[in-house]
Amino acid sequence: MKPRWDITTWIKEDSNNDVWFTTMFDLYALPDDFPGYAEAQQAAAPCKKVAELEKKLSEDINCPRFIPYIQLHEFEALLLADPSKLDWEFLEHEKAIQSLVHLMRDRNPEEINDGEATAPSKRIIAAIPDYEGRKASSGPIVASKIGLATLRKRCRHFADWVTRLEGLQR
């Protein structure tokens, strides 16, 4: 797994105990050579799958200053925490945005499944085709407009990670 080499190299480059390392990998389309991948596939619940994968990655890296994080199911799940904010980047898609708002009304964004056509990014692209070519630029802008408070409230696994990172300050 190539990310392992990168992570361990960065850790070796800075041995200061005040320096921590983390990841943000998408669960969706995670490579099958990822640590613990085969075992995690046995878990029915995505949150259990992610917990197993994070545990195995932590064991593989074997550094107390490393905090693995895998996003359920992918970054775009965060955008589905408040899809109305997509209008900051895609104002001309008001009807499509409203359909995403309606879809997510009572749903946990982190539980949107990871099917080839139903993963969070695929749902957004189906509603707003322009998003596909602008994921890297528009996604972070929309997430910032949603705000950390809403992301934490709607995305429990993400909230737990942020809380853990904030606890490192103490």
Instruction: Kindly report the three-state secondary structure assignment for every residue of 69-111.
Output: CEECCCCHHHHCCCHHHHHHCCHHHHHHHHHHHHHHCCCCHHH
- pLDDT tops 80 at residue 1: no
Do 83 and 151 fall within a single domain? yes
Tally of domains within the chain: 2
- Determine, yes or no, domain membership for 166: no
- Which pLDDT tens digit goes with each residue over 127-168? 999 999 999 999 999 999 999 999 999 999 999 999 999 999
- Which pLDDT tens digit goes with each residue over 95-132? 999 999 999 998 999 988 767 888 999 999 999 999 99
Do 56 and 84 fall within a single domain? no
- Which pLDDT tens digit goes with each residue over 3-19? 899 999 999 999 999 99
- Determine, yes or no, domain membership for 46: yes
Q: Which domain holds residue 67?
A: 2-71
Do 84 and 149 fall within a single domain? yes
